[in-house]
Amino acid sequence: MAAPVGRSVVFVTGNAKKLEEVVQILGDKFPYKLISKKIDLPEYQGEPDEISVQKCKEAARQGRIVEPRGPRDFGWDPCFQPDGYDKTYAELPKEVKNSISHRYRALAAMSEHFSKLNDGPDTKRTKHTD
């Protein structure tokens, strides 16, 4: 599905690997143009529980923390082994990891949300105000 004219979603990250993963997960059927922006924002300070409430949505994946295995080029992938698999995220093919990860589930929900918006009665609106 082609992106509607003037419709875009800004994905804020300075992490090229994360952007690559998002593009792969969303695929060419995502109904909006994905624009990447790197914005330096101050990090929240405080106790981990306080910080996580401010920064996170629930996107858990069950698994185990293991000794690092596989390429060490993307976050904690080498030391997380999802339940039901004998390999860490780093050892799994990207297509497999990107079909089971917490980020996949969050992006699938986002994609579904935007697809519903795209199919709704208000799809002609292209100008948004803050």
- Please write the tens of the pLDDT for every residue from 62-87: 889 899 999 998 888 899 999 999 99
Q: In this predicted model, what pLDDT tens digit does every residue of 29-54 receive, in sequence order? A: 888 888 888 888 777 777 877 776 66
Six-digit token string for 108? 């699938």
Query: Residue type at 20?
Result: E
Pick 8-38+49-117's CATH classification: 3.40.350.10, 3.40.190.10, 3.40.50.300, 3.90.950.10. Answer: 3.90.950.10
Average pLDDT, the chain: 79
Mapped onto helix, strand or coil, the DSSP state of residue 74 is coil
Taking the CA atoms of 128, 31, 119 and 108 in sequence, report the sign of the dihedral they define. Answer: negative
Q: How many C-alpha atoms does 50 have within 13 Å on its Cβ side?
A: 5
Give the pLDDT of residue 121.
53
pTM of the model: 0.53
